[in-house]
Amino acid sequence: MLLTALVAVAQAPVVTLDSCRNMALRNNKQLQITNEQQRGASYQRKAARAAYLPSLDATGLYLYNQKEISLLESDQMLPTMSFNPQTGSYGYNLVTGANGQPVMVNGQPVPSQVAVIPKSAMTFDVQNVFAGAVTLTQPIYMGGKIRAMNEMTRYAEQLAAASHNMAMAEVICNVDAAYWQVVSLKAKYHLAKDYVNLLDTLSRHVDAMLAEGVATRADQLSVAVKLNEANVDLTKVENGLALARMALAQVCGLPLNDTFTLADEDKELEIKQLPARNYDMNEVYDRRNELQTLQAAVKIYEAKAKVERSAMLPNLAIMGMYSITNPNLFNGFEKKFDGMFSVGAVLKIPLWHWGGNYNKYRSAKSESVVRRLQLEDAREKVELQVSQASFKAQESIKTYTMTCSNLAKAEENLRQAQLGFDEGVMTADDVMTAQTAWLKANSENIDAQIDVQLCNVYLSKALGTLVPSQVIE
């Protein structure tokens, strides 16, 4: 079983911090979501740009009518006229009496001749109607709405990109924390094993001394208790290491039971001296994705105010259309397709809406002011965050330096205690006290090394250099 485990560890691939980051960035679901949101914002920008161009639409219609259309309720009889050479004008053909005057019936003259218009001649079959049209529309002036919508989608695309970078920075921080947790626990695992070996060696020496009568049973029990506690701690560290590997695998998007070895597990970590704390905050502001999202939000709401303002301005568009119908209106409802061209312009001028459009405009302006105040507040918090991260990073270097000094003293103290124990001038309790101090110094040194690495990551995040960012114009 032990041989199988050793073979598995030997065959496990070596994984670096950069490879862990790359795997996490590829497999993280939240990043996939923000990536799709970024792609969707790009499509919206292209759609808004298309509003500048003319639109072409085709429309088709079929309509079934229950009845025919008749322009007359019955046959119509119209009076006729004849030319009178004496008067030089036309007059109605009327029935005249003996006195030469028109015969009146119910107060109306009676025509002598009539023209008959039968009802059937003015009845049209429109039970099946087909119609179609192709329309071309070109906006000329829409009150600045199209330009404002293009600005909104452009800044929305930049906001989506900044949000994606924010999510990337968060993923990288999580990966680094999980990675260095594994490195820390692996170092503490080796430390716990060394501590167990020290106590085991001391236990054997005390057993030998007890057999020779130069040690007491109490000394043997004290060492045995310490050894048992050390073995329990070793088991806890071993289990914690296994769980930390699972957590790292989960963050990287790997199966939890995958076996891998970290490149920094069994080597001395490189501690770099941090540069001076003189940072150009304007450059930091330009790099911070959080500020970029707020800055984009300000621009979006300013463009939204322009959109609301366009509702109070005239809108002008020109259009051209070709339409066809069957039956057509151009030749007495002939059962045949025919059509015509039409060209025109549409002008819309808002006159009075009881202040509705103006209040919408003022509401959008208020929203833009809110976003600008949030941006200013975030700038102040970013400056504080950078200062805190810088102080913590410098503090971690100092702490590491002090733990190295303490570790050297603890090692020398342990060496002196072991020599004194071998010479018989120090007791087993003195050696165990020195071993405990050595264990604590090593543990603090490991924690300090990991803290330096994590503080560097947090400082890079605060400075906006953890993930390359886009500067919003």
Tokens 């820390």 correspond to what residue? 184
Give the helix, strand, coil percentages of the chain, each rounded to 5. 60, 15, 20
Q: Mean pLDDT score of the chain, rounded to an integer? A: 87
Contact criterion met (CB below 8 Å) for 110 and 104: yes
Q: Grade residue 235 by pLDDT with cuts at 50, 70 and 90.
A: very high
Q: What is the mean pLDDT of residues 261-283?
A: 78
Helix 145-212 / helix 428-463 crossing angle, nearest 10 deg: 170
Rounded CA-CA distance 135/57 in Å is 5
Q: What is the pLDDT of residue 468?
A: 57
b/e sequence 326-339, b meaning 16+ C-beta within 10 Å:
bbbeeeebeeeeeb
Could you tell me the two tokens for 16?
């670096």
Residue 48, C-beta contacts closer than 8 angstroms, at least 6 positions apart: 146, 149, 150, 152, 153
pLDDT at 273 over 80: no
Q: Is 386 helix (H, G, I), strand (E, B) or coil?
A: helix
Q: pTM of the predicted model, to two decimals?
A: 0.78
Beta strands in 51-127 (DSSP E): 55-64, 69-70, 76-79, 81-84, 89-92, 104-105, 108-109, 114-117, 123-124
Taking the CA atoms of 291, 293, 294 and 300 in sequence, report the sign of the dihedral they define.
positive
Residue 228, C-beta contacts closer than 8 angstroms, at least 6 positions apart: none
Q: What is the pLDDT of residue 4?
A: 46
Q: What is the pLDDT of residue 8?
A: 44
pLDDT in tens, 330-366: 777 778 888 889 999 999 999 888 988 889 899 999 9
Q: Grade residue 6 by pLDDT with cuts at 50, 70 and 90.
A: very low
**Third-level CATH fold of 144-313+355-463:** Outer membrane efflux proteins (OEP) (1.20.1600)
Q: What is the pLDDT of residue 216?
A: 80
pLDDT in tens, 147-157: 999 999 999 99
Of 9-13, 66-70, 112-116, the poorest mean pLDDT is in 9-13
Could you tell me the two tokens for 323?
């339409």
Give the count of beta carbons closer than 10 Å to the beta carbon of residue 350.
Answer: 14
**Max mean pLDDT range (24-38, 80-94, 455-469):** 24-38
Residue 198, C-beta contacts closer than 8 angstroms, at least 6 positions apart: 435, 438
Q: What is the pLDDT of residue 471?
A: 37
| pLDDT cut 90: percent of the chain above it | 50
Q: What is the mean pLDDT of residues 251-262?
A: 88
Instruction: Using DSSP bridges, classify how beta strands 81-84 and 104-105 pair: parallel, antiparallel or unpaired.
Output: unpaired
Q: Is 87 helix (H, G, I), strand (E, B) or coil?
A: coil
Higher-confidence residue of 374 and 425: namely 374
Question: Residue type for 183, please?
Answer: V
Rounded CA-CA distance 143/314 in Å is 6
Measuring CA to CA, which residue among 283, 330, 339 is closest to residue 469?
283
pLDDT at 376 over 50: yes
Give one DSSP letter per residue of 335-365, joined into a string: SS-EEEEEEEEEEE-----TTHHHHHHHHHH
Rounded CA-CA distance 153/299 in Å is 10
What phi, psi does 100 have (nearest 5°)?
80, 0
Higher-confidence residue of 252 and 472: namely 252
Q: What is the mean pLDDT of residues 237-249?
A: 93
Q: What is the mean pLDDT of residues 3-12?
A: 48
Of 13-17, 97-101, 165-169, the poorest mean pLDDT is in 97-101
Rounded CA-CA distance 245/266 in Å is 15
Question: Residue type for 135, please?
Answer: T
Measuring CA to CA, which residue among 199, 216, 228, 224 is closest to residue 427?
216
Q: What is the pLDDT of residue 93?
A: 79
Could you tell me the two tokens for 46?
């292209």
Rounded CA-CA distance 320/56 in Å is 10
Question: Residue type for 139, please?
Answer: P
Rounded CA-CA distance 120/75 in Å is 8
Q: What is the mean pLDDT of residues 298-306?
A: 92
Could you tell me the two tokens for 35?
């990536």
pLDDT at 11 over 50: yes
Q: What is the mean pLDDT of residues 173-178?
A: 93
Which helix H or strand E contains 207, and what residues bound it? helix 145-212
Rounded CA-CA distance 386/278 in Å is 11
List, in sequence order, every residue forming a beta bridge with 116; answer none if it has no partner.
77
The alpha-carbon radius of gyration of the chain (Å, integer) is: 46
pLDDT in tens, 424-447: 788 888 889 999 999 999 999 999
Q: Is 143 left (phi over 0), alpha (psi -120 to 50) or beta?
A: left
